[in-house]
Amino acid sequence: MVLKEIGLGIGLAMVVFMAISGYDVTPVLFLGVVAGALYYIARSRGIHATFNTAPLMRRPEISFDDIGGQNSAIKELKEALDFIKNQEQIIKLGIRPIKGILLTGPPGTGKTLLAKAAAGYTDSVFIACSGSEFIEMYAGVGAQRVRQLFQSARDTGQKQKKDSALIFIDEIDILGGKRGQNTSHHEYDQTLNQLLVEMDGLKVNDKVRILVVAATNRVDMLDPALLRPGRFDRQVKVDLPDKQGRLEILKLHCRNKPLANDIDLEKIAQETFGFSGAHLESLANEGAILAMREGCVEIEHRHLHEAIDKVMMGEKLERCPSRHELERVAVHEVGHAIISEQNRPGSVSTLTITPRGQALGYMRQVPEDDTYLHTRDYLEGQIRVLLAGSVAEEIVLGNRSTGAANDFEQAVNTAAQIIRSGMSELGVVDPDILPPDLRYRVVSGIIREQEKKVKEFLYRMRGAIKQIVNVLLVEEKISGEQFRIMMKGNKH
């Protein structure tokens, strides 16, 4: 860079000197402009640039033992990786090598960690990049970068005296989307074609055997040519962890943190249904931050319990609603809690009117077990919980507010799920061809029926609602245990 600046300065000085001396410098300036334009175009098209967007890494300092909650994915991945480790046996049996492994699943479930652990497991060179790094507006650049990526893996493997290399491509749905969708520009298709060609050229007797590991949460967008045998031979599903998996992940992320004796990680795991590994790592970190704010030397259970709310809803807000608004929020959340407790005793975990994120208050439920299949009774119970906040406002305060808009939206979606699942009065139907007026009538009927049940129950419980609201306005947050104690004397 310094030499370029010196050369540019000398050139400008010579042009100025020639102009002062009376020479015609127009041809020189013209040639300079043309040379500069050509140099800029060449650089922007990647002609002189080498592929440096994929950071080379030594063997990652991570193993499968450092990844929790993905036992099935790890087992399936190890089985595929053993083909790389047992090369001699593969050659004897005439087995075609596995060229690609596709990791699919929601964000934050540990797909990148699995790829790094795979490189360590096979003692391979590890090269990571993102699908977006290959997409350029200039024709041919993406394909060139794909070629350079594979060549870089081979060169690095030989340089480090490794006989295998692992190329990890994150967000491969950007690079490997279905061809023909971008008719205005074929650069996407050319880049994908080059990736397919490179994967076809991988052989079991190469000096450096290359395995391509890719990750995506949109497998439905991938081109079918990527998914056929000989390209990505294995698809490994990396799902959200179950309760036992969440417990393993929490233990991993808390092993370097001082935990108090009152911490029950199993209870925290139970309350975090739907959390990914990334959410759980953030939960452990936020719990430590809360402990530091209070000057505690150990992380207590209450810190992790509050961290759940922070990860789910966001940081506490400084907004201060009026007393009238706080009372309405309290009535609304108590209504949710009472119906939730009626549906399933012990389901209320926390009740608060402290603003977080977009919510002025909220009621958090505790799932008893990880549930993936739901009956109509369960879905109707969820609809009743969603409607209860607005109904409680109407019974206690005499009218409703806009705070229930999201609740109503979820209630309608849940009623629509009953129809899609064939559990409504219509039986098994195709929602796409269902007349809109008929769908509206059935959805409205389901919601009206549940709203009637909620009104009848909450009207009998209006005394309990007022009592719990008064406590909530003073303390701002009460636990599920406190809520159930107050409910005991008001059962009907």
Rounded distance, CA 111 to CA 454, Å? 44
Rounded distance, CA 482 to CA 295, Å? 27
Q: Worst-scoring range by mean pLDDT, 365-379, 402-416, 453-467?
A: 365-379
Confidence (pLDDT) at 288? 93
Rounded distance, CA 258 to CA 288, Å? 9
Burial class (CB in 10 A: 0-12, 13-18, 19+), 224: exposed
Q: Among residues 187, 248, 300, 333, which one is catalytic?
A: 333
Rounded distance, CA 470 to CA 461, Å? 15
Residue 361 CB partners (closer than 8 Å, separation 6+): 329, 330, 332, 333, 352, 353, 354, 355
Beta strand 362-365 pairing with 348-352: antiparallel
In this predicted structure, the answer to whether residue 453 has a pLDDT above a threshold of 90 is yes
H-helix segments, 368-479 = 376-397, 405-420, 436-460, 462-475
Rounded distance, CA 151 to CA 149, Å? 5
Over the stretch 213-268, which tens digit does the pLDDT of each residue have? 889 888 888 888 888 887 888 888 888 888 889 999 999 999 889 999 989 898 89
Mean pLDDT, residues 366-370: 68
Most confident by average pLDDT, 93-107, 355-369, 372-386: 372-386
- Which residue would you say has higher pLDDT here, 16 or 472? 472
Strands lying side by side in the sheet with 100-104: 56-57, 125-130, 164-170, 209-216, 100-104, 234-237
The 3-state DSSP class for residue 56 equals strand
Check if 79 is active-site: no
Over the stretch 274-312, which tens digit does the pLDDT of each residue have? 888 899 999 999 999 999 999 999 999 989 988 888 888
Residue 275 CB partners (closer than 8 Å, separation 6+): 240, 241, 246, 283, 311
273 within 8 A of 239, measured Cβ to Cβ: no
352 within 8 A of 477, measured Cβ to Cβ: yes
Over the stretch 87-125, which tens digit does the pLDDT of each residue have? 777 777 777 778 888 999 888 888 888 888 888 888 888
Residue 163 CB partners (closer than 8 Å, separation 6+): 87, 157, 207, 208, 209
The 3-state DSSP class for residue 70 equals coil
| Bridge partners (DSSP) listed for residue 471 | none
Q: What does 235-284 look like in DSSP terms, one character per residue?
A: EEE-PPP-HHHHHHHHHHHHTTS-B-TT--HHHHHHTTTT--HHHHHHHH
